Structure 1
Amino acid sequence: MSNQRDAKKYLHLHVSKKLVAGATFVALLLASQAVAAGQGEGLSGKQVVDAVCANCHATGIEGAPKIGDRQAWKPRAAQGLTSLTQHALQGLRKMPPHGGSPGLGDPEIKRAITYMVNQSGGSWIEPVAVGNAFRERSGEQIVNAQCIKCHEKGVDGAPRIGDIAAWAPRYAHGMDFLVRSAIKGHGAMPPRGGMADLTDAEMRVAALYMFNKGVVPTGNASVAQATTPPSKEDWNHKIIEGMDVYMGVVSAESIRGMQPNEGKEKSMHGGIPRGKGYYHINISLLDRQTGVEIKDAKIDLSVEDPVMGEQMKQLDPISFNRATSYGNYFRMPDRYPYRITAQIVRGGQSHVAKAKFDYRPE
């Protein structure tokens, strides 16, 4: 009797395992067939992962980064969605092309990758369904979905939405420079602002939206105080004689490396200087009482250091998208502190106001 009970128990377990395995296989097969037949276009990232990717990524077999393993996914996520999608489409090491499911296209793979990254510490936004793939999001939609997390309150030095004085130095180098900088990521901001599926055009409209929120329409002074100026000074912000004075500094090498051969930046101030150690210094001015840009000032700027002595240049007015700032190139080849002094004369006045900054090139 004992042997008979054991035999029945074995048969029950063996058949149960077969049934479970068979059911799992059928589920995967149906999902894969749906993808192959073009029915997978509306599948979410989770659905694609469960049907295909989890076969390896759930356990990390054959060196596949395991879902949930932050350390394994971190360097991969840093490559961006485009690079990871290419790897999946072409195949990489022991992973076959399209993850072994030929019916998977770019949108499905992108959503699956985004899902796995997010399950492993990321915060990417899952790409839209195929039917909406070419329906670009508005600047407001993008900002409200992601950018607002840092740019609303200026977290980690991010320019606040609508703070034209903080945005003006960045725009002074041109829209292409600003967009390329955001695509690559800089400072505390990850590539593409942490939204891996953002197109270059969407990056552009998001940046314009954040800047334009603070632009005062001509003749509408009542809106001028929508952006409240900061009450405290900072290394790049001085309050002097009724003015908020903002300084922005970008290396000429960075501008040269990121700019196309043609454009405003190439000819600005006589062209980008050759050689190392040059920086573009930009000054933006706001009337502290009204919040309106000061567009008719004359600014002479000096850069002092104990070795080279003093450099003095007049800053050129720079206009972009209804915003005006002032800038020029200066040489600061060493890593010690420089004293930068902006001598400002407002239009129709003769009095010189001086704003002093200390800056050490990184």
Structure 2
Amino acid sequence: MADPHANMTQATPQEVIISLLAGLFAPLLAIFLIVQLVLGIQEEQQPDTTSEAAQKATLSRIKPFAQLVALDANAPRVEKSGQAVYDAVCASCHTSGALGAPKFEDKGGWGPRLGQGFDTLVKHAIDGIRQMPPRGGDGDLSDVEVARAVAYMTNSAGASFEAPEGAAPAAAADTAGATEAAAPAAAATTSKPDPAKGKAVYESSCAVCHAAGVAGAPKPGDKAAWATRVSQGYATLYDHALNGIRGMPPKGGNADLSEADLADAVGYLFAESGGKL
């Protein structure tokens, strides 16, 4: 009977090595591709510090957990000026032209609207029109405050509408008490700030937004971005920093910051950006 193994050819050492390498090549290639895939996913997930989402996340992290506000139920409501309403409510859309809103001081954008007349524009602002919600989204605004804001915006674009005065607020019964309540803010704005000290406060509390321009915060030394702000004066800028404005929370989100330190920080930014103290 014939031996079945007699016709088998014996493999050479070279063939054995080639077979082993061929067998290892496929799993090594698979491992390499998996590693490249993981590295690619990790690279795509690196934090983006320039996106709007990252800026909102930064503001959310520095926002105070809570704010305590004491209100006097018997105190008369003092209506805001047109500029104050614009800064607090309207600027979020009318500064950038979001959702087709005509930009502040843009005569081309406001031109066709001015021809409709002041009363029509006020009605649109109160009732809402197209993408703009009633009263700009702030239901607490009075008709007089809305009308003042409309006059402030339209007059910046060449109109000459007269803003309504509204009812004069009643005089406070206790003048001495009101003076004492306003004393801390008055002291901070009347005493000359120290920009040298303010630099340290800026670096510890303000730089997180102003150094990178987060949420539209003007960068120190950027005179073009600060020009309109510097023209408002140091006292106004201090008030904005103390109470917050648009995307900036009160005291830049640091509730523990003293008013004297805040005044120094505002003085530093004011002086660095072309203001004269």
Could you say which structure has the greater relative contact order, defined with CA pairs below 8 angstroms and 6 or more residues apart? 2
TM-score normalised by L of structure 1: 0.27
Higher relative helix content: 2
Computing the radius of gyration from Cα coordinates, the structure with the larger value is: 2
